[in-house]
């Protein structure tokens, strides 16, 4: 492919951002690198349509890691990448979203450099951007959200979630919480204890950009209950802040793609929040 010879020689590694899952949200460079690779080590969150872009004969090796379900530990992944490159293969390490955002890219960069293997990063669309696009909201908004913060709510096994809650409880910010589904109740409790109002708009976006995408609209004081009731097995992102309460419906037909959260909870009541499952008609990015 054009460009592959000079920036992807044999024995080189590219950490490639696969984006949120929809192949149409890949960068053109990512598509080219995937198509030129001899071997692709891919994460669990990489969509199947992305892997279909590999050239015929390329090895595709799952090294997927989901919360609590690791097929390989990080040192093993590092070793596989380095060994493949030293064997003269063009190596793509394919990561969901952007490799440099909560992707443990530094460990793999360090392992390659320590072994004399050339390595570079191809950025990708991160989940927060894809989620906001699906919702139809801006992550920042003049007068309401002057700051955007990305945090991960995934703690090491046995460790408590240790975040600067007072810094995160900024009413003029939008906070994107990666891997926050299991910790949603704790996140909400800590943010409210730090002073963020319970009525602050909050969203859970599950499987952003994919056909099975689901959008759950709620507020901070109901976030734990809502996520516990509505979440399924897909990867999820939490978006919290005043900007999330301004407009936004992702361009969907509400008559066919919206249902009340009260149906999920089986609890009737005023002001019920919305769960928006993505329909097949709205599956394209």
Q: What is the DSSP letter of 202?
A: E
Rounded to whole angstroms, how far apart are CA atoms 123 and 16?
A: 6
Of 38, 43, 170, 273, catalytic: 43
Q: How many CA atoms lie within 13 A of 76 on its CB side?
A: 9
**Angstrom distance (rounded) from CA 49 to CA 36:** 16
Q: Which among 7, 29, 60, 65 is annotated as catalytic?
A: 65
Whether 43 is a known active-site residue: answer yes
What is the rounded CA–CA span in Å between residue 66 and residue 148?
25
- The token duo for 196 is 């963020």
Q: How many CB atoms lie within 10 A of CB 192?
A: 17
Distance (Å, rounded) from C-alpha 273 to C-alpha 51?
A: 36
Helix axes 74-86, 105-114, angle to 10 degrees: 40
In 3D space, the residue among 126, 114, 124, 115 whose CA is nearest the CA of residue 152 turns out to be: 126
How many residues in the chain? 285
Residues 169, 151: Cα–Cα separation, whole Å? 12
Locate all alpha helices (DSSP H) within 180-219, ordered by sequence: 184-193
| Whether residue 164 lies in the annotated active site | no
At what angle are helices 223-230 and 184-193 packed, to 10 degrees? 170
- Catalytic residue positions? 43, 65
């Amino acid at each position: 492919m054009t460009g592959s010879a000079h920036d992807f020689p044999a024995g080189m590694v590219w950490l490639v951002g696969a984006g949120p899952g929809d192949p149409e949200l890949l960068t053109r460079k990512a598509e080219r690198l995937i198509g030129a690779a001899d071997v692709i080590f891919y994460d669990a969150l990489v969509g199947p349509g992305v892997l279909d872009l590999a050239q015929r004969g390329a090895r595709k090796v799952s090294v997927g890691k989901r919360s609590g379900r690791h097929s390989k530990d990080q040192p093993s992944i590092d070793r596989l990448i380095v060994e493949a490159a030293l064997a003269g293969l063009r190596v793509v390490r394919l990561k969901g979203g952007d490799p440099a955002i909560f992707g443990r890219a530094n460990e793999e960069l360090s392992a390659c450099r320590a072994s004399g293997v050339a390595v570079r990063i191809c950025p990708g669309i991160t989940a927060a951007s894809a989620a906001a696009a699906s919702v139809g909201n801006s992550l920042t908004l003049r007068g309401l959200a002057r700051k955007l913060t990305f945090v991960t709510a995934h703690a090491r096994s046995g460790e408590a979630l240790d975040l600067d809650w007072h810094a995160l409880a900024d009413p003029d910010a939008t906070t994107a919480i990666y891997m926050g589904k299991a910790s949603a109740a704790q996140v909400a409790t800590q943010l409210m204890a730090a002073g963020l109002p319970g009525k602050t708009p909050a969203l859970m976006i599950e499987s952003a950009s994919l056909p099975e995408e689901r959008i759950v609209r709620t507020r901070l004081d109901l976030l734990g209950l809502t996520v516990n009731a509505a979440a399924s097995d897909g990867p999820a992102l939490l978006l919290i802040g005043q900007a999330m309460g301004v407009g936004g419906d992702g361009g969907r037909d509400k008559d066919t793609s919206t249902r009340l959260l009260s149906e999920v909870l089986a609890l009737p009541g005023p002001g019920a929040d919305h769960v928006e499952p993505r329909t097949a008609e709205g599956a394209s990015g």
